[in-house]
Amino acid sequence: IKLQSKQHQDAELLEEISSVFGVWRSIVDATAQAASARLLASEDYRSLTLHTSKSLRNGVEQLQRIQAELLDSLRELQRIKKSYHQLSLIAHTAREKAANAHLIEITSVQMSARLKECDDRLTEVRNQYLLTLAALHAHQQHYYSHDLPTIIGTSTAPVPHRARDTGPCAAGSALQPPGAGEREEAE
* Average pLDDT of span 160-186: 46
Per-residue pLDDT at 162: 47
CB 151 within 8 A of CB 59: yes
Q: Is the pLDDT of residue 35 over 90?
A: yes
CB atoms near residue 98 (< 10 Å)? 20
Give the SS3 label for residue 157.
Answer: coil
Nearest C-alpha neighbor of 36 from the set 179, 180, 173: 173
DSSP 147: I
Share of the chain above pLDDT 70, in %: 76
**Does the global pTM surpass 0.85?**
no
Which tops the pLDDT comparison, 6 or 55?
Answer: 55
Per-residue pLDDT at 71: 92
Using left for φ > 0, alpha for ψ between -120 and 50, and beta otherwise, residue 105 falls in: left
Reported confidence tier of residue 130, pLDDT bands at 50, 70, 90: very high
Per-residue pLDDT at 157: 55
Q: Is the pLDDT of residue 186 over 70?
A: no
Lowest-pLDDT choice from 17-31, 66-80, 158-172: 158-172
Counted domains in the chain: 1
Per-residue pLDDT at 21: 76
- Averaged pLDDT of the chain: 79
Q: What is the pLDDT of residues 142-159, one digit of tens each?
A: 989 998 888 888 877 555
Q: Quote the domain boundaries for residue 56.
A: 2-186
Share of the chain above pLDDT 90, in %: 35
Q: What is the pLDDT of residues 65-123, one digit of tens each?
A: 989 998 998 999 999 999 999 999 999 998 888 887 667 766 667 778 888 998 999 89
